[in-house]
Amino acid sequence: MDNEIDAIVPEIEEPYALTRVLGAQHETRLAHLLTLRPLHFIFVCTFYLLILKVAASFLIEVITYPFPEWKPSGTVDPRKIIEEYGRGSAFLMGVVFAPLIETILGQWLPIRVARIWTENPKILLWTATCVFALQHIHAGFSGLAVGFGGGIVLAFAFLAWYRVGFVKAFLMTSAIHAVHNGIAFVGALFL
């Protein structure tokens, strides 16, 4: 079964081809990410994910400030979810199950489908990023923007670990997403 899965995994012939996705200025940082140990990789990617999320949220707030009617109305508030479902259920949904399901639907499936037409890591990354962002459109434009920021980090992580195998790519990407959601969960409990 594992060989079947590996057969659909894109092999990146040049390991650092993936680092050229965002332009030359990011190439060194991304190449360094590929040399990190798994736990360090998870925490550094989570940090990038949080920075992109904060930047996207700030940008949305600045853009919509003069136009109150543009304010995102569908934003998901983790505190309301915890209040409605309880801590245990909210933790299981947001920190355990959501990352697993969204990794399948937001990274693996789009990459597998895109591989029918291309092996280009840039196209695979942007395809997975856009699909992941669209999964968060239920939270309005802000969810789309924040999902795009998070999606690019998660797609990069998935493709980077795809070279090693599907299971490791799935677990690493899910772990990054789970740590991120866990930080949001803890923040919602104490803020």
The string of pLDDT tens digits covering residues 100-144 is 999 999 999 999 999 999 988 889 999 999 999 999 888 777 788
Report residue 6 as tokens.
Answer: 């590996």
CA atoms 40, 125, 147, 107: torsion sign:
negative
pLDDT confidence of 18, banded at 50, 70, 90?
low
Q: Tell me what pLDDT residue 5 has.
A: 41
pTM of the complete model: 0.81
CB contact at 8 A, 47 and 54: no
Structure-model confidence comparison of residues 64 and 145, the more confident one:
145
Rounded to whole angstroms, the Cα distance separating 142 from 178 reads: 20
pLDDT, the chain, mean: 82
Read out DSSP for 124-170? HHHHHHHHHHHHTGGGHHHHHHHHHHHHHHHHHHHHHHHTT-HHHHH
Query: How much of the chain exceeds pLDDT 70, in percent?
Result: 79
Look at 14-18, 126-130, 182-186 and tell me which has the smallest mean pLDDT. 14-18
Element (H, E) at 75: none
Task: Judge whether 44 and 33 are in contact, CB under 8 Å.
Answer: yes
> pLDDT value at position 72?
59
**Percentage of the chain lying above the pLDDT 90 cut:** 42
Tell me the C-alpha to C-alpha distance, in Å, between residue 181 and each of 118, 174, 187: 32, 10, 10
